């Protein structure tokens, strides 16, 4: 794949006990991973073509749906939400879904999720951040970050037994301790934004956006009444 190719991606930040002692779900990438090896990250990854075929039991709420579709078409929000739910299932074995039967056989990538008796549900997901990986990285993503309360999960939030081996050391990390882990820079920025909004979990007034689509690195805010745009000095780290 061309290193300048930018793939759509979705990441989900799951918070537990946001009003008392908030904890965030994270796992560690493998040492041989091409992208962010050994780093602790949120569950997430690139959109798969099969995500466009997936029915949602409940769609994203506004304003998240409209913000995600701007510039990407009417299906953008649904596909990104589906990808976030699939990645959470694959990497943590946890379900954002509602009991129900699939109207058609699920794509292969979704068969294990469907076997739990659930349809994916985006009702608890809130679009809170966007970041594009800077040029020169081995892989580049246009990542949309979703925030969700662990209380919306179907099943035991401590049961990671159905997860794949994409992330190791999957755990709930107290938010106040997360920066003691080996985090990508962009993950630190996202955590700071999330912490500043607590105990509220919901869409921000405007979505922060690290725009590294070209050699400049801009920090913007999308969807607010007063958009902010400024150059980010030392832009090399901003999309790690």
Higher pLDDT, 2 or 187: 187
- Alpha carbon distance 118, 3 (integer Å): 37
* CATH architecture label of 6-237: Alpha-Beta Complex (3.90)
Provide the pLDDT for residue 95. 98
Closest of 127, 172, 124 to residue 146, by C-alpha? 127
* Cβ partners under 8 Å of residue 171, min gap 6: 25, 26, 27
Q: What is the pLDDT of residues 114-158, one digit of tens each?
A: 999 999 999 999 999 999 988 888 889 999 999 999 999 999 999
Domain ranges of the chain: 6-237
Q: What is the pLDDT of residues 174-206, one digit of tens each?
A: 999 999 999 999 999 999 999 999 999 999 999
């Amino acid at each position: 794949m061309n290193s300048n190719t930018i793939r759509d991606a979705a990441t989900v930040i799951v918070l537990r006990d946001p009003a008392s002692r908030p904890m965030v779900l994270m796992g560690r990438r493998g040492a041989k991973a091409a992208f962010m090896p050994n780093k602790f990250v949120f569950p997430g990854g690139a959109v798969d073509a099969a995500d466009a075929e997936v029915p949602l039991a409940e769609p994203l709420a506004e304003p998240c749906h409209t913000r995600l579709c701007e510039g990407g078409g009417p299906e953008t929000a649904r596909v990104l939400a589906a990808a976030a739910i699939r990645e959470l299932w694959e990497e943590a074995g946890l379900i954002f879904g509602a009991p129900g039967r699939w109207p058609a056989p699920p794509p292969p990538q979704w068969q294990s999720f469907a076997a739990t008796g659930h349809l994916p549900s985006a009702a608890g997901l809130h679009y809170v951040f966007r970041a594009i990986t800077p040029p020169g990285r081995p892989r580049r993503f246009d990542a949309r970050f979703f925030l969700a309360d662990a209380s919306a999960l179907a099943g035991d939030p401590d049961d990671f037994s159905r997860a794949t081996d994409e992330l190791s050391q999957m755990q709930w990390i107290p938010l106040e301790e997360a920066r003691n882990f080996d985090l990508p820079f962009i993950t630190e920025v996202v955590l700071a934004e999330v912490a500043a909004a607590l105990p509220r979990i919901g869409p921000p007034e405007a979505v922060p956006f690290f725009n590294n689509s070209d050699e400049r690195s801009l920090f913007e805010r999308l969807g607010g009444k007063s958009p902010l745009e400024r150059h980010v000095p030392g832009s090399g780290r901003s999309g790690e």
